[in-house]
Amino acid sequence: MLPAGQELPTLGRLPFGGAFPEQPAEFVHDLHEDARLSVEAIAELADCLPRRSVIYDTASQPLLVPQGGPPRGSLARPGDVIRTIEDANAWLTLLNIEDDPTYAELMHRTLDELEPGMLERQGKMCNRVGFIFVSSPNSVTPAHFDIEHSLLMQVSGSKAVSVDNNGDWNTLSGLRSRAVQFKKSRLASKMGT
């Protein structure tokens, strides 16, 4: 929780707070104002991406699932699911959105804002990729391991995120929940203990 009167940093100021990328940190952004992130625009993107770039599964999933993960390319028109996502009982991940020039520009513009503050601590960003997650209310994305530094930038709705701090996947004893909630012009995320 921020002290009264203190503002959340912008994405460009995030690295100067000392926590990111080693620890979760709160920041503000204005991506919710970008028309490329409207439901209709994301649905159109999903239909244009190669089928292997779209992961689809039902919303009701256990936290842990057998190896293999959800199928890729199983939907002929994933945009139709996205257009009705509120009632679809599903979640989708659009992988490598940077393959589309319009979304490549959005991704690079966003990461270019962050990179100057990261240079001294982490060096130049390599292998930039962008994913878009779209989910119905109350969806569960099974536990998984991200090999890269990740920015979760919520543009609508809310999400509970768990972060494993000790790598014990057998018991998941290191999981800490973080509530992420979209609030008009900012992303608010909080790490719990």
Please write the tens of the pLDDT for every residue from 25-39: 788 888 989 999 999
Q: In angstroms, rounded to a whole number, what is the distance separating the alpha carbons of residues 38 and 33?
A: 9
Same domain, 136 and 166: no
- Asked if 20 contacts 34 with a C-beta cutoff of 8 angstroms, the reply is no
Same domain, 101 and 187: no
pLDDT in tens, 43-61: 999 999 999 999 998 888 7
Range of the domain at 176: 158-193
Same domain, 58 and 87: yes
Give the model's pLDDT for residue 70.
72
φ and ψ at residue 99, rounded to 5 degrees: -70, -20
The answer as to whether 4 is a domain residue is no
- Asked if 153 contacts 176 with a C-beta cutoff of 8 angstroms, the reply is no
Same domain, 37 and 92: yes
Q: Residue 151: which region, alpha, beta or left (left: phi > 0; alpha: psi -120 to 50)? A: beta
Percentage of residues in the chain with pLDDT exceeding 70?
74
pLDDT in tens, 143-160: 766 667 777 787 888 777
Give the pTM. 0.79
Same domain, 137 and 162: no
Closest of 121, 127, 180 to residue 152, by C-alpha? 180
